[in-house]
Amino acid sequence: DAKTTQPNSMESNEEEPVHLPCNHSTISGTDYIHWYRQLPSQGPEYVIHGLTSNVNNRMASLAIAEDRKSSTLILHRATLRDAAVYYCILTPNNDMRFGAGTRLTVKP
Amino acid sequence: AAGVIQSPRHLIKEKRETATLKCYPIPRHDTVYWYQQGPGQDPQFLISFYEKMQSDKGSIPDRFSAQQFSDYHSELNMSSLELGDSALYFCASSLAPSLGRPDTQYFGPGTRLTVL
């Protein structure tokens, strides 16, 4: 499985944008880039996924580097409810292997 | 909208006992996944089923088994429980990938298993 590297933790101020990076230099051509998050005491929750082009949805945006070796999850205006562990996962199908994600702290 | 249902939500067992966890996927979802999350750890994939057949296997111990039934619900059977099996067990469901495109996994609230 292709490996991803994310910072252990990040901090953000409420209502400011947050850019969560993910490096995946060994990504294969068929790997999709998925982002899930896990809020405290809850199961993981889908955020967004993409293959080559940047993607937007109501929760976030996903910016994918042209060489696909890195990507960035963008939360446009962080709220206190966005405090969670964010996981970047590569897979060509639905099988998710969670690595060590980024713990996002949002300060009021 | 209907979500993934897991039962029981909490379960306490003694060492060497058995446990059965149940998962009811979102209606029309044909694929079920099981994950284990120990205290302070990230979720670890155990096993998945598509149309009642095992589709992928992760770090599931030999003491555990699982199956998916004709109504698509799934059960995770755990025998000879050990203290280290204490964890949150999540079930997720999805539609199978179509045209090579993955589908979103929807996770249940989890079953907290405590082994004493």
Which of B42, B55, B99 should be substituted to probe chain A, the one whose Cβ sees the most A Cβ atoms within 10 Å?
B42
> Higher confidence at residue A34 or residue A94?
A34
pLDDT tens-digit series, residues A52-105: 999 999 999 999 999 999 999 999 999 999 999 999 999 887 888 999 999 999
Q: Once rounded to an integer, what is the mean pLDDT over residues B52-80?
A: 95
Ranking A34-38, B4-8, B94-98 by mean pLDDT, the lowest is: B94-98
pLDDT tens-digit series, residues B76-94: 999 999 999 999 999 999 9
pLDDT band of A1, cuts 50, 70, 90: low
Return the closest-CA partner of residue A97 out of B42, B55, B7: B42
Interface membership of A3 toward B (CB under 8 Å): no
Which residues 6+ apart lie within 8 Å of B41 measured at CB? none
Q: Once rounded to an integer, what is the mean pLDDT over residues A28-40?
A: 94
Q: Strand, coil or helix: what is B83?
A: helix
For B26, phi then psi, to 5°, come to -60, 140
